[in-house]
Chain A
Amino acid sequence: MADGATPVLNVRDLKTVFKTRSGSVHAVNSVSFSLNPGELLGVVGESGSGKSVTMMSLIGLIPSPPAEVSGGGIDFGGIDLLQASETELRAIRGARIGFVFQDPMTSLNPVFTVGYQIMEPLRKHMNMSKAQARVRAKELLELVGIPDAERRLSDYPHQFSGGMRQRVMIAIALACDPEVLIADEPTTALDVTIQAQILELMHELRAKLGMAVIWITHDLGVIAGIADRVLVMYGGQIVEHAPVRELFKHPRHPYTRALLKTVPSVRGERAERLEVIEGQPPILRAEPSSCSFAARCPFAFERCLAENPPRFDISPGHDAACFYDFESGAPRASVQATSVTEGAIHAG
């Protein structure tokens, strides 16, 4: 949207509800965003903010029941993913949209060889013969930096270390040259040195292959190093959206500001005491009718409890869902609907 290119993925007003016995939980509330070709979109937020559910909802990977996508539209290259049949979705999953998950130790099937698991999508989506798929699988392992690829194809997952398994997961995700790669906390379960290696690998792969990436994490440090644009999620909503530098320089939502203060600074003489965001993220029993961060927000005033703030434009490509204007240091005068997020306005 910022550079005028046609987005590969356009999500409007996505809502996902978990219907449980003790009532429904609104995990994703009117989320709208778009993903441009070749860009890396970071999605941050604490546990339970709806990051993963949002991305799993895109492509029908949430367990249904109990989860149910109750509204919105997702445009992926002219196809509305929410209207698509399971068969159509299956043809997209793994072929045009690849996934990397959090825990590489459990994400691979222990009883099949790594080669078999990489070849599976190749044979299904690209109609490759066994021999062709094997050649491609070997290339993929080399691409993600696994030495001695030919021999490693016939190894089982338990013969790989955590970092190597995550490389295998990335190889599987990239097998069919997807347009979009969704990485759900791919480095969270890895130790820091391995994490750095995986980030390095992603940098390289993106330069080489040019796919768009959605990178879900709760680690702002990772986001700072890798993302082009960032979505900050809270309570199943996008509370702030900005290019990465802008977000770190001028955070405009109290939640983003609080998040940034929880990260220790490497520079700086003696780090100040890290701040803690008091309280817990809300469990939404109904669609939010007030700002979901209000209870934990030092800037909250009456309006925050009466209305759910829409996303206000701050500057081109930067918007924040907050009634408080940090530039003037005072509450905003009135509702200004923004062009990007028309669908996201939900006042009650």
Chain B
Amino acid sequence: MLHYTIRRLLLAIPTLLFISLVIFLLLDLAPGDPMASIPLTVPPEVKERMREALGLGEPVHIRFLNWLYQFFIVEPQVAWDHIFGTDFSEGKQRIISFQSRSPVMSVVAERMPQTLWVVGLSYVFATLIAVPIGIVSAYRQYSWFDQLGTFVSMIGFSIPTFFSGVLLIVIFSVTLGWFPSIYDTTHKVTDWPSFLFQIKQMAMPVFVLTLYNAAQVSRFMRASMLDNLNQDYVRTARAKGMSEKVVVLLHVLRNSMIPVVTVIALGVPSIFGGAIITEQVFQVNGLGQMLITAIYASDAPMVQTLTFIFAVLIVLFNLIADILYGILDPRIRYD
């Protein structure tokens, strides 16, 4: 397994380099000008000099290599310096956002907590809710619980978050006034009332995303449980005199979790990607929202860096899913 992991990690390097190149070229080919939002009164030659100041005068391959150097050498050094108080990155050029002229990674670090709290929490909730629902739905197939679960999942699955989000805002913010409709990122939790406020403003976006994610995972869990409940080994376990609890929660669940764990692991990168639409609806300025703004502003370094981070996460969690698969299913060995 260790060999396999190392081999996969090494193989990931060319994959990621290729991905970064493709992203870079795509962004370079895309229409749009970072100077577009500069007032028309600024003369063209000044604009041209500004462009050069951003490094846009260099040929494509130089800019790409520059970005690689900054992303893989400079930014890790900055992080290292930040943690250990050293000064390796002294005087080196970091990746700079075209919009704010501030380092991209600092902005990412700033936005990360909002996204992780809202989207991450909803993902954790969704998993914790969906797995038991899937188990009970399958075990009591066609019971009222299963029917209700199927109905709710169908709703969660088929109603897009931009609709359910707005619907919740209309009901709970506009009509009832229970929750704020806009997420206040600057809010600091210092005492009990401010904590309650934080819960309140997180409630709706977390609910919308939980419903959506739970719908998917519970369907998966149910299908996987049903597949296994009729297997011969279940009858064997019952014939051995095992209690229903052991039969279902040990024998069947262990087998059913194999595909579900994969699905859950593969979904994790999307947390970091942020729920772009939901963040937009509730004005949570997390990573997803930041990506959208950066695309509007033709902020190539920002888009490039964010997209590449997502790519890294996707490759990484694919590997994690594969390793989990191997751990859970003894029939799969990668050596």
Name A's B-contacting residues (CB within 8 A).
59, 61, 90-95, 98-99, 101, 103, 106-113, 120-121, 124-125, 156, 158, 169, 172
Interface residue? B191 (CB, 8 A): no
Report which of B231, B235, B329, B330 forms a contact with A61, defined as CB distance below 8 A.
B235
Interface size on B, residues (CB 8 A): 20
Say whether B241 contacts A90, CB under 8 Å: yes
Say whether B254 contacts A107, CB under 8 Å: no
Interface residue? B189 (CB, 8 A): no
Cα distance, A90 to B240, chains bound together (Å) = 8
> What does the 1/0 interface line of B308-335 toward A look like (CB < 8 Å)?
0000000000000000000011110000
Listed residue (B238, B241, B258) with the most chain A CB atoms within 10 angstroms of its CB: B241
Q: A101-B232, A107-B232, A156-B331 are in contact. Are A172 and B240 (CB under 8 A)?
A: yes
Minimum CB–CB distance from A273 to chain B (whole Å) comes to 37
Chain A residues with Cβ under 8 A from B235's Cβ?
61, 101, 107
Say whether B239 contacts A94, CB under 8 Å: yes
Chain B residues with Cβ under 8 A from A99's Cβ?
236, 239
Say whether A93 contacts B238, CB under 8 Å: yes
Report which of A106, A121, A125, A172 forms a contact with B232, defined as CB distance below 8 A.
A106
> What does the 1/0 interface line of B236-247 toward A look like (CB < 8 Å)?
111111110000
Cα distance, A113 to B254, chains bound together (Å) = 13
Say whether A111 contacts B255, CB under 8 Å: yes
Q: A101-B235, A169-B236 are in contact. Are A111 and B241 (CB under 8 A)?
A: no
Cα distance, A108 to B330, chains bound together (Å) = 13
Cα distance, A103 to B243, chains bound together (Å) = 23
Say whether B330 contacts A111, CB under 8 Å: yes
- Ordered by A's residue number, 29 sampled pairs between the chains whose C-beta atoms are within 8 Å are A59-B239, A61-B235, A61-B238, A61-B239, A93-B238, A94-B239, A94-B241, A95-B241, A106-B231, A107-B232, A107-B235, A108-B233, A109-B254, A109-B255, A110-B233, A110-B255, A110-B330, A111-B255, A111-B328, A111-B329, A112-B251, A120-B237, A120-B240, A124-B241, A125-B241, A158-B331, A169-B236, A172-B236, A172-B240
Chain A residues with Cβ under 8 A from B328's Cβ?
111
Say whether B233 contacts A120, CB under 8 Å: no
Cα distance, A82 to B239, chains bound together (Å) = 16
Say whether A111 contacts B254, CB under 8 Å: yes
Report the nearest B residue to A95, measured CB to CB: B241
Report the nearest A residue to B255, measured CB to CB: A111
Cα distance, A108 to B242, chains bound together (Å) = 14
Cα distance, A109 to B239, chains bound together (Å) = 13
10 shortest interchain CB distances as A-B pairs: A94-B241, A94-B240, A99-B239, A93-B241, A106-B232, A109-B233, A156-B330, A121-B240, A107-B232, A90-B241
Report which of A91, A93, A107, A156 forms a contact with B233, defined as CB distance below 8 A.
A107
Cα distance, A298 to B240, chains bound together (Å) = 44
Chain B residues with Cβ under 8 A from A109's Cβ?
233, 236-237, 251, 254-255
Say whether B236 contacts A101, CB under 8 Å: yes
Cα distance, A99 to B242, chains bound together (Å) = 13
Interface residues of B in 210-243 (CB under 8 A from A): 231-233, 235-243
Cα distance, A125 to B330, chains bound together (Å) = 27
Listed residue (A59, A99, A109, A172) with the most chain B CB atoms within 10 angstroms of its CB: A109
Chain A residues with Cβ under 8 A from B258's Cβ?
111
Chain A residues with Cβ under 8 A from B240's Cβ?
93-94, 120-121, 124, 172
Listed residue (B239, B328, B330) with the most chain A CB atoms within 10 angstroms of its CB: B239
Report the nearest B residue to A86, measured CB to CB: B244
Minimum CB–CB distance from B157 to chain A (whole Å) comes to 28
Minimum CB–CB distance from B236 to chain A (whole Å) comes to 5
Say whether A106 contacts B233, CB under 8 Å: yes
Cα distance, A91 to B240, chains bound together (Å) = 9
Cα distance, A59 to B231, chains bound together (Å) = 19
Cα distance, A328 to B251, chains bound together (Å) = 58
Say whether A93 contacts B239, CB under 8 Å: yes
For the A-B complex with A94-B240, A107-B232, A125-B241 known, give 4 more contacts whose Cβ atoms are closer than 8 Å: A107-B236, A108-B233, A121-B242, A156-B330
Cα distance, A283 to B328, chains bound together (Å) = 43
Report the nearest A residue to B229, measured CB to CB: A63
Minimum CB–CB distance from B332 to chain A (whole Å) comes to 10
Minimum CB–CB distance from A52 to chain B (whole Å) comes to 11
Report which of B232, B241, B251 forms a contact with A92, defined as CB distance below 8 A.
B241
Report which of A91, A101, A107, A112 forms a contact with B241, defined as CB distance below 8 A.
A91
Cα distance, A230 to B239, chains bound together (Å) = 24
Minimum CB–CB distance from B333 to chain A (whole Å) comes to 10
Minimum CB–CB distance from A114 to chain B (whole Å) comes to 11
Say whether B233 contacts A121, CB under 8 Å: no
Chain B residues with Cβ under 8 A from A103's Cβ?
232
Chain A residues with Cβ under 8 A from B254's Cβ?
109, 111-112
Chain B residues with Cβ under 8 A from A94's Cβ?
239-242
Report the nearest B residue to A90, measured CB to CB: B241
Chain B residues with Cβ under 8 A from A61's Cβ?
235, 238-239
Interface residues of B in 243-276 (CB under 8 A from A): 243, 251, 254-255, 258
Minimum CB–CB distance from B125 to chain A (whole Å) comes to 28
Report the nearest B residue to A93, measured CB to CB: B241
Cα distance, A110 to B238, chains bound together (Å) = 16
Report the nearest B residue to A103, measured CB to CB: B232
Chain A residues with Cβ under 8 A from B330's Cβ?
110-111, 113, 156, 158
Q: A61-B235, A101-B236, A172-B236 are in contact. Are A110 and B331 (CB under 8 A)?
A: yes
Cα distance, A227 to B139, chains bound together (Å) = 39
Chain B residues with Cβ under 8 A from A92's Cβ?
241
Report the nearest A residue to B237, measured CB to CB: A109
Cα distance, A91 to B328, chains bound together (Å) = 30
Cα distance, A108 to B331, chains bound together (Å) = 13
